[in-house]
Structure 1
Amino acid sequence: MTKGMGDPLGRMPVLRRRMVLAGIAGLGAFGRSAWRAEAAQMRTGWEAWARDFLMPDGRVVDPEQGGISHSEGQAYGLLLAQSFGDAEAFARIEGWTRAHLAIREDSLMAWKWQPDRQAAEATDWRNATDGDLLRAWALLRASRDSGWRGYEESLRSIARDLVALCLAPDPRAPSEHLLLP
């Protein structure tokens, strides 16, 4: 750890810290034959994470923010489910996401859903580009790496709308683009 940085994960909310750690473990080491025991231990970590944060209907909850669900959490859940080969959890997360966050006129997600609202109502319809990027990446990995079909069209639509709606000319170099938040 770099001197003066302290514990960067220690300052993160619990949900995000557990997602980051599970993601690093799952994306970095899973599947390497030399680490089979670690992979089994990581699988146990995925199962514990899913028990704590993944509802039976596919909603990923953020308990530190009143039990809300947000696009970033749903996308992290998709990435983790794909990383651990859990097609059933992936399908549930994507199904809930499509029904409750992917409800804008474009293919991007509303970023926030609150449990005290009507089930079909997002609380904030604006998108959060990181959530959309992570979801697109998860859909790509599911289709390309896991062979889980049926996600290709959503992936193409998200990519198209990210380019159309979330890129802006860089004022310092107008021929180059910046990614909007």
Structure 2
Amino acid sequence: MERGHGTALVLGGARSGKSSWAEAQLRDRTVVDYVATSLVDDDDPEWQDRVALHRSRRPGSWRTLETLDVAAVVRDPDEAPVLVDCLALWLSRTLDDVDAWQADEAVWRPALEQRVDDLVDALGTTSREVILVSNEVGSGVVPATASGRMYRDELGRLNARVAAACDELWLCVGGFGRRWR
């Protein structure tokens, strides 16, 4: 089943096929702005392999934008569709930027909320077709550490806010997407 046009959030677990499924929704487009939110660590060969796999699947005509400023890309008046992969990595890096792992919540929460508000606002006003990919973590194991639980909770909140702002919500399992809204 193909998705429509507008904004869509695609959720799924690790290795659920969500990125491949999202890419397939835009495979007929010559130009796509692919927003890569991950950093490539020179000391992590396994992560380098994962990033290389993602890069190899993308057509050469797609534009890769490595940025955390997803809202600016979504707001850009360019007519090319946008694929954001992924919000889970965006959140992790944003939590690093606002010092959430070390600082008191009263210090980092306003900065995080401002960035999430900016993204949600951009999704609500864009004229671009946008697909965002994120990990669904609410059905998994409760993390054993406080930082793991905080990250899981923040990602759940982010996914809920983005889902509410999007026209469509999809869940991907085993490489197959099912529309929930």
Q: How does the TM-score come out when normalised to structure 1?
A: 0.32
State the structure with more CA Rg.
Answer: 1
Q: How does the TM-score come out when normalised to structure 2?
A: 0.32
Which structure: greater strand fraction? Answer: 2
Report which structure shows greater RCO (CA 8 Å, sep ≥6): 2
Which structure: greater helix fraction? Answer: 1
